[in-house]
A and B are shown apart, each in its own frame.
Chain A
Amino acid sequence: MDDRTDRIAITLKLFGGFRRHLPADSEGHACQIEVPRGATPGHVLAHFDIPTEGVVVLVNGLTSELDDPLEAGDVLAAFPSLAGG
């Protein structure tokens, strides 16, 4: 099977204290990445060395779980749930 069909393109946005985990060439708060088909927000955060505890995850702006599979074109946003610190 062609490798490319096993991968999907998504947009990753990291806000607040997580922004420092974005690749250096990112614009603003977002970058375009390719992930294996079937990848979840949990997989993506782990890949970027972001702890998965105390995290808010949004997919296309909607409340999402760490183990919901991502689809091509999704916008995954994450930020620390640390309004107090």
Chain B
Amino acid sequence: MFGWHGKVLRVDLAQETTRVEVVDPQTAKDYIGGRGWAIKVLSDEVDPRVDPLSPENHLIFTTGPLTGTPAPTGNRFMVTTKAPLTGAIACSNSGGMYPTEMKRTGIDMIVLEGRADRPVYVWINGSEGDDEPQVEIRSADHLWGEPVPETTEALLNETDEKARVACIGPAGERLVKMASIMNDKHRAAGRSGVGAVMGSKNLKAVVVRGTKKVDLAEPDAVRDLSRTVRREVAADVKKGSSLRDYGTAYVPIVTNELGILPTRNFQTGVFEGVEGITGVVLTENYLVRPKPCYGCPIACGRKTTLEGTPYGGKGEGPEYETIASLGSACGLDDLAAVTKANYLCNELGLDTISAGMTIACAMEMAEKGILSDEEVGMELRFGDADAVIQLVEQMAYREGFGDVLAEGSYRMAEQYGHPELAVTAKKQEFPGYDPRGSKGMGLLYATSNYGASHMAGDLAYMEVFGVPVKLDPLSLERKPWYIKHFEDLFTIIDAAGLCVFLSIRYLCDGTEDVMPHRMAELLNHATGAGYTTESLLEAGDRVYTLERLFLTRAGFSRADDTLPKRMLEEPMPEGPAKGHVVELDEMLPEFYELRGWDEEGVPTREKLEELRLA
């Protein structure tokens, strides 16, 4: 096969056995790779009603056909599992160097099954020139309890210094509902509690080393198209690249201008302290250098330092989402404190979005008298930097009130009788765009297969950033069509192993309809699979619909495709979105119809037959 190796590594953690399976070429094409292959396996083999933290759940790492190729930003992998935070699907995406190294072991996908009876790690070595990698399941007794940087260093010492490590920290070991899996120390497959699933399997790390190049159907064509795209990116960067200069930290000032920057647990979308948490502050005070993922011409990653501040330390980040959650949502205008909290999340293995938004929810509950200072163990008020930093650590270790926070904002708020104060969809905390001022995002959060997620179909590209054209974020016009289309597009991008930052702008056609012509071209050059733009979109639809079917079988229904009362009934109090709520009921029926789902949100028999899923 080309693009794909066509190989899946199965690791049975209970039996401590491994085997390599070959993938059928038609299945490879129909499900593209990455997230697509993963949902096919999950759907075929895991009961959708299973407890996510039981041995019956699978934890699946997948690359795509463009991962590890010369395709610009072909450097991503996905972690797919049934999620402990939501009970729905987790598809957490990460970049860095690990995904390329994983692809170079000669396998595309790793399916981790069962539960080890002691802490272990998996060492996959594809650098010996054999057809298949050597795989060992080794004891991780000596690493259990260690934070991410120490774990990573120790594993590089005992395997191969050129290897790459994906591991959990103390949060994953303690089954914290928003625990992440960290790769290359600082990159996170962050959302939905994938790290807790890894912890539940007694699996501390998956270490990879590989030297196998990916065979391409038309290597010259892949190279030429990649060069063209790189030239286009370079021309834009020369004009003034926000991402290169400031990272995604350039975004808070933009979303604040639109009045959709989550502030004090979404009580408003305008933050008076925004100038303290912008990319300019980051670049001028804490940036060491931009840090690209493998083969990326953009370099939005930030290598930063807090040496010389009261906090100290060094690491990577923060990104926009982290600034919105640990910063403005907590009423915090001190970027050094946000960065410190970010470092702790990375070191201990926590999703910054859910961690920050859960603390923000607790702050509102404390200010409203629902949580007492005694229960929390401190006086908890918006804007308190020390409290944010302290609670991140407590959450990761489930110490004191951190044990309550570790369950996420929905379960916490429900426990105290106020679930309406949790700004979540399907129990997952919102990302950094208040949907009252970005209506398409509201429909996305409500219906996404992952719970509230921007990465499931990020229409902020058009509603906020004008890529490829600007949509009015306050209008409902065509939003159901766009969300359906973006969900399918993002599925293709994830499945192909690409990063969204480049794909929407450079691999789609730049028109209002955002058709993935170039993505089909690139995938064909790599795989020789003969996609058309239409068949590629159909594959995206197939994967998305199969994910939805998994949710349906897990017991989710239309009642779960909703948003908190704050979004549906409490108008935005100020700013450009003043007076707005999310008119979800006006968008949902049309969206279901476009997706081929019935009035209850269940995929119809006709739709399943059309997609060959029946």
Contacts and interface: CB of A to CB of B under 8 A. Distances in A.
B257 A16 contact: no
B466 A81 contact: yes
Contacts of A56: 465-466, 470
A60 B576 contact: yes
Interface residues of B, number: 42
A75 B279 CA distance: 21
A82 B236 contact: yes
A22 B18 CA distance: 60
Interface residues of A, number: 27
Nearest to B577: A61
B280 A17 contact: no
B240 A18 contact: yes
Nearest to A17: B240
A81 B240 contact: no
B240 A29 contact: no
Contact of B470 (A51, A80, A81): A81
Nearest to A59: B576
B476 interface: no
B560 interface: no
Nearest to A28: B275
A17 B576 contact: no
A83 B257 CA distance: 16
Contact of B576 (A20, A51, A62): A62
A47 B279 CA distance: 25
Contacts of B253: 13, 15, 29
A58 B260 CA distance: 14
Residue from A20, A55, A56, A77 having most chain B Cβ neighbours under 10 A = A56
A77 B576 CA distance: 13
A80 B503 CA distance: 17
Interface stretch (B28-36, B102-110, B242-250): B242-250
B276 to A, nearest CB: 10
Given A56-B465, A58-B257, A81-B465, A28 B233 contact: no
A17 B258 contact: no
B250 A15 contact: yes
Chain B binding surface, main DSSP class:
helix
Among A20, A29, A62, A82, chain B packs the most CB atoms within 10 A around the CB of A82
A5 interface: no
Nearest to A79: B254
Given A16-B254, A28-B275, A29-B253, A51 B239 contact: yes
Nearest to A61: B576
Contacts of B502: 84-85
A17 B278 CA distance: 13
Nearest to A63: B472
B298 A85 contact: yes
Nearest to A58: B257
A82 B275 contact: no
Given A17-B240, A61-B257, A83-B465, A29 B280 contact: yes
B501 interface: yes
Given A15-B253, A84-B298, A85-B237, A28 B280 contact: yes
Interface string A14-47: 0111111000000011000000000000000000
A81 to B, nearest CB: 3
B1 interface: no
Contacts of A19: 280
B254 A15 contact: yes
A4 to B, nearest CB: 29
Interface in B219-261: 233, 236-237, 239-246, 250, 253-254, 257-259
Contact of A16 (B250, B461, B504, B575): B250
Given A85-B241, A85-B297, A13 B465 contact: no
B242 A80 contact: yes
Interface string B461-481: 100011110111110000000
Contact of A17 (B245, B467, B468, B504): B245
Given A29-B280, A60-B576, A61-B576, A82 B257 contact: no
B2 interface: no
A85 B236 contact: yes
A85 B244 contact: yes
B484 interface: no
A13 B471 CA distance: 20
Interface string A45-77: 000000100111010111100000000000101
A77 to B, nearest CB: 5
B505 A83 contact: yes
A58 B465 CA distance: 11
A61 B575 contact: yes
A58 B577 CA distance: 13
Given A29-B280, A61-B575, A61-B576, A83 B472 contact: no
Q: Ordered nearest first, which 5 A-B pairs have the shortest CB separation?
A: A17-B240, A61-B576, A16-B242, A81-B466, A84-B505
25 contacts: A15-B242, A15-B253, A16-B245, A17-B250, A28-B280, A51-B239, A54-B236, A54-B466, A55-B466, A58-B257, A61-B258, A62-B576, A63-B472, A80-B236, A80-B240, A82-B239, A82-B241, A83-B242, A84-B233, A84-B501, A84-B504, A85-B237, A85-B241, A85-B243, A85-B298
Given A18-B240, A58-B258, A84-B502, 16 more contacts: A13-B253, A13-B257, A16-B254, A17-B245, A29-B253, A54-B466, A61-B576, A62-B576, A80-B239, A80-B241, A81-B465, A83-B242, A85-B233, A85-B241, A85-B298, A85-B506
